[in-house]
Chains A and B, each alone.
Chain A
Amino acid sequence: MASANALPQTGPVRFWDRLNISTKRVIWAWAFLAVPIIFYAGIRFYPTFQAFWLSLTNWDLLRPAQFIGFANYQKMFADPVFWKVFQNTFLYLIIGTPVSLVVSFVIAYYLDRVKLMHGFIRALYFLPFLTTAAAMGWVWRWFYQPVPIGVINGFLSSFGIPQQPFLRSVDQALFSILIPAIWAGLGFQIIIFMAGLRAIPNTFYEAAKIDGLGDWAILRKITIPLLKPTTVFLVVFSSIGFLRIFDQVYNMTSNDPGGPLNSTKPLVLMIYQTAFSSYQMGYAAAQTVVLFTILLIVSLLQLYVLREKK
C-alpha cells in the first residue's frame, strides 16, 4: 500500500487519480485499518462470543461440545469452593488496591522532595517492578519457610518471636501472597504518582502559600484533588491486576495449588485448574464469564465513583 501511487500508468492508478482528496483519504484510512480490524474481530471479539457460547456447553476437550443451557452456572453457584474463591478474589482486590495505593502515594510524595541520591532511591523502589512474578514467587516462598530455612522466620526467632506459619495458615496465606504482589507493583505506582505530582502547576502552590495554608492543608485541598486523574488511572489499573492475580499464587502454592484449603485460590487459578487440569472447558468458560462480569462492574463502578466529584 505504501507504493500505490508510485506505480506507473496502470488501470487502478488512473482510477485512483480520478478520486478526490477526501475520498482518497478515506480509502487510506480503511487500508490502514484493514489488518487491525481482522485482528480485533478474529482474536478479540469472536473469542469473546465463543467464550459465552462455550459456557453453555459441556465441552471437555476430548468430546465435541453439547449445549447444556445454564447447567454450568447452576453448578458453579452451588459449589462452595466457587464462593470461597470469589471471596478470595475480592480480598485480593479490596486489600491490595488501597494498601498499594496509599503506600505508593506516601513514598512518591516524599520521594518527590528528595534531591540527594534521588535517582538511586527511586531505582530501589522501581526494581521489583522489572522482575518476573513467576521467579519472585519462588523467592518469596523461600522467605516464608519455617525455621531453619526461612529468612523471615529466622529473623523473627532470633528476636525470640514465635515463628509464623505464613503460607501454611488459612489466615495468613492470602496476605503472604498479597505482599509480593503489592511489592512488585509498587515501583510502577510510585513513578506514576510522581509524574502526577510534577504535572501540578506551581501556581497552585504559590497561591496556597499566599493564603497561608500549611503542608497538610495543601496536600488535602490541592495535591490530592488535582491528582484525581492519576489516582483514577492507578485504581483501575491495580484493581484489574489484583482481580486477575495468578502468577504468584500458582508458583507459591504449587504443592497444593490455591491452598491450604483453598484459602489463597483466586478465580483465575480456579479457571486454570478447571480448564487445564480437569479439562472441563465449558465449566471453565462459565467461570471466565463471571470474571469478565466482575471486572466490568468494578471498572465501571470505580470510573463512576471517582469521576463524580471532578
Chain B
Amino acid sequence: MTMASTKELAANSRDIRPGRIITWTLLLIGGLIMITPLLFMFSTSLKTSGQVYDLRLIPAAPTLDNYIKVLGDGRFMQWFFNSTLIAVTVTISNVFFDSLVGYTLAKFEFRGRYFIFLAILSTLMIPTEMLVIPWYLMSSQLGWLNSYWGIMFPGMMTAFGTFLMKQFFEGVPNDFLEAARVDGLNEFTIWWKIAMPMVVPAISALAIFTFLGNWTAFFWPLIVTTSKELYTLPVGISSFSAEASIQWELIMTGAAIGTIPTLLVFLLLQRYIVRGVMLAGLKG
C-alpha cells in the first residue's frame, strides 16, 4: 500500500523517538482543541440555567431537562424529519441523474457531447447566491414557496457530481459494456446493471457529499420556507436560538440535537465517509 510509504520513510530516515512523541502529543492536543466547542456544547446542554455560569466542562449535576424541554413540543422532530427527507431525496436524485449524465458523457459518442459537458461544467462557476433571486421569483410564480419541492429543486442535479461520476465511468473498461451489448441488454440496463456496480465507491462518495451538503444547507432553505413546519434543521436551530432570548443552555441543547445525528452516523461509518471524501477530493 502506498499509505505505508511516508511512514516507512519517516521510520527509516530520522527516527528520533522523542520527536515522534512530541509530534504525536501535539497532534492529540490539537485534535482535542478541535472538539472543545463540541464538548462545551454538550456539557452546557446538560446544565441548568443557574449552572451556565459555571464554566467547568463536567456539569456539577447533569440533567436532561433541557432536552425534554426542547424536544417537548415536537418542533425539532419535525425539522429533523424535514431535513432527512430532503437530504435523502436530493441524494437519490443526484446519484441517479449525475451518474446517468456522467456515464453518457464518458461512454457515448455523439455530436455535441463536449458542448454539453462544458455547459454543465460551467455551471460550477455560477454561485447559488446569484440564482436565489430568480429561483425565488420562479418559486413564487409556480407556487413552490414554502414546500418540500421548493427547498429541493435547485439541488436535484449538480455539475460537481456529474463531473465526479464522469471521471469514474471513464475508468470502466469498454469490454464489459460491449459484452453486455452482445448479450442484447439495452443501454439503460447496461448502465444500471453493469456500469453502476463498478463505480460503487464513487457513488458512495457522491452520496455522502450530497447528503451532508443538503443536511447542513442554510441559505436557500432560510429563504424559501415561510412556515415553521417546513423548516430544515439548520433553519430551525437558527430561528430557535434567536427566539430563546439568549438562554444559552437551551441554545446549546438545540445545537447539540442538530449535531448528534451526523456524529452518530460518522462514528458508524467513519471508514466509508473518510474514503468517500478522499475519493471525491482526488478526482473531483
B157 touches A25 (CB 8 A): no
Taking the closest CB of chain B, its distance from the CB of A308, in whole angstroms, is 20
In the complex, what residues of A have CB within 8 A of residue B138's CB? 47
In the complex, what residues of A have CB within 8 A of residue B26's CB? 110
Q: With A4-B186, A288-B130 in contact, is A139–B255 under 8 Å at CB? A: yes
In the complex, what residues of B have CB within 8 A of residue A135's CB? 234, 237-238, 241, 254-255, 258-259
Which residue of B110, B127, B235, B237 is within 8 Å of A29 (Cβ)? B110
A254-293: CB near B (< 8 Å → 1, else 0) gives: 1000000000000010011001100001001100110110
In the complex, what residues of B have CB within 8 A of residue A26's CB? 108-111
A132 touches B233 (CB 8 A): yes
A139 touches B252 (CB 8 A): yes
Query: In the assembly, what is the distance between CA of A254 and CA of B245, in Å?
Result: 12
A114 touches B23 (CB 8 A): yes
Whether a CB of chain B sits under 8 angstroms from the CB of A140 is yes
B38 touches A127 (CB 8 A): yes
Chain A, 137-182, CB within 8 A of any chain B CB: 137-140, 142-143, 148-149, 151, 154-155, 180
B242-272: CB near A (< 8 Å → 1, else 0) gives: 1000001001101100110011001100100
For B244, the closest partner residue in chain A by CB is A138
Taking the closest CB of chain A, its distance from the CB of B19, in whole angstroms, is 10
Q: With A131-B262, A132-B234 in contact, is A205–B9 under 8 Å at CB? A: yes
Whether a CB of chain B sits under 8 angstroms from the CB of A30 is yes
In the complex, what residues of B have CB within 8 A of residue A50's CB? 134, 137
Which residue of A45, A230, A240 is within 8 Å of B282 (Cβ)? A230
B116 touches A33 (CB 8 A): yes
How many of A's residues come within 8 Å of B, CB to CB?
Answer: 110
In the complex, what residues of B have CB within 8 A of residue A36's CB? 97, 100-101, 120, 157, 162
Taking the closest CB of chain A, its distance from the CB of B105, in whole angstroms, is 8
Whether a CB of chain B sits under 8 angstroms from the CB of A8 is no
Interface-centre pick from A45, A47, A197 (highest chain B CB count, 10 A): A47
In the complex, what residues of A have CB within 8 A of residue B20's CB? 113
A296 touches B125 (CB 8 A): yes
A250 touches B34 (CB 8 A): no
Whether a CB of chain A sits under 8 angstroms from the CB of B167 is no
Which residue of A4, A35, A110 is within 8 Å of B97 (Cβ)? A35
In the complex, number of A-B residue pairs with CB atoms less than 8 Å apart: 296
In the complex, what residues of A have CB within 8 A of residue B101's CB? 32-33, 36
Query: In the assembly, what is the distance between CA of A116 and CA of B20, in Å?
Result: 11
Whether a CB of chain B sits under 8 angstroms from the CB of A74 is no
Query: In the assembly, what is the distance between CA of A192 and CA of B279, in Å?
Result: 9
Query: In the assembly, what is the distance between CA of A264 and CA of B97, in Å?
Result: 39
A142 touches B251 (CB 8 A): yes
Whether a CB of chain A sits under 8 angstroms from the CB of B227 is no
For A44, the closest partner residue in chain B by CB is B123
Chain A, 1-33, CB within 8 A of any chain B CB: 1-2, 4-6, 22, 24-26, 28-30, 32-33
Taking the closest CB of chain B, its distance from the CB of A207, in whole angstroms, is 12
A236-260: CB near B (< 8 Å → 1, else 0) gives: 0000100010110011001000000
Query: In the assembly, what is the distance between CA of A124 and CA of B2, in Å?
Result: 24
Whether a CB of chain A sits under 8 angstroms from the CB of B64 is no
A288 touches B13 (CB 8 A): no
Query: In the assembly, what is the distance between CA of A123 and CA of B2, in Å?
Result: 21
Whether a CB of chain B sits under 8 angstroms from the CB of A91 is no
Whether a CB of chain B sits under 8 angstroms from the CB of A199 is yes
For A120, the closest partner residue in chain B by CB is B31
Chain B, 50-70, CB within 8 A of any chain A CB: 52-53, 55
Whether a CB of chain B sits under 8 angstroms from the CB of A220 is no
In the complex, what residues of B have CB within 8 A of residue A281's CB? 133, 137
B187 touches A25 (CB 8 A): yes
Taking the closest CB of chain B, its distance from the CB of A187, in whole angstroms, is 8
Query: In the assembly, what is the distance between CA of A48 and CA of B132, in Å?
Result: 10
B116-137: CB near A (< 8 Å → 1, else 0) gives: 1001100101111111111111
Q: With A25-B109, A33-B116, A125-B31 in contact, is A132–B237 under 8 Å at CB? A: yes
Whether a CB of chain A sits under 8 angstroms from the CB of B114 is no
Which residue of B97, B189, B218, B277 is within 8 Å of A133 (Cβ)? B218
Whether a CB of chain A sits under 8 angstroms from the CB of B154 is yes
14 A-B residue pairs with CB within 8 Å: A2-B186, A4-B186, A32-B108, A44-B123, A50-B137, A113-B23, A121-B31, A124-B32, A128-B34, A132-B258, A135-B234, A142-B252, A215-B14, A272-B223
What are the nearest 8 A-B pairs in CB distance? A124-B31, A47-B134, A195-B278, A192-B281, A135-B255, A202-B5, A134-B234, A288-B130
Interface residues, chain A, CB within 8 Å of chain B? Answer: 1-2, 4-6, 22, 24-26, 28-30, 32-33, 35-37, 39-40, 43-48, 50-51, 54, 107, 110-117, 119, 121-128, 130-140, 142-143, 148-149, 151, 154-155, 180, 183, 186-188, 191-192, 194-202, 205, 209, 214-215, 218, 230, 233-234, 240, 244, 246-247, 250-251, 254, 268, 271-272, 275-276, 281, 284-285, 288-289, 291-292, 295-296, 299
> Given A107-B30, A247-B234, A292-B127, 6 other A-B contacts at CB below 8 A?
A30-B110, A36-B157, A112-B7, A127-B34, A138-B254, A291-B127
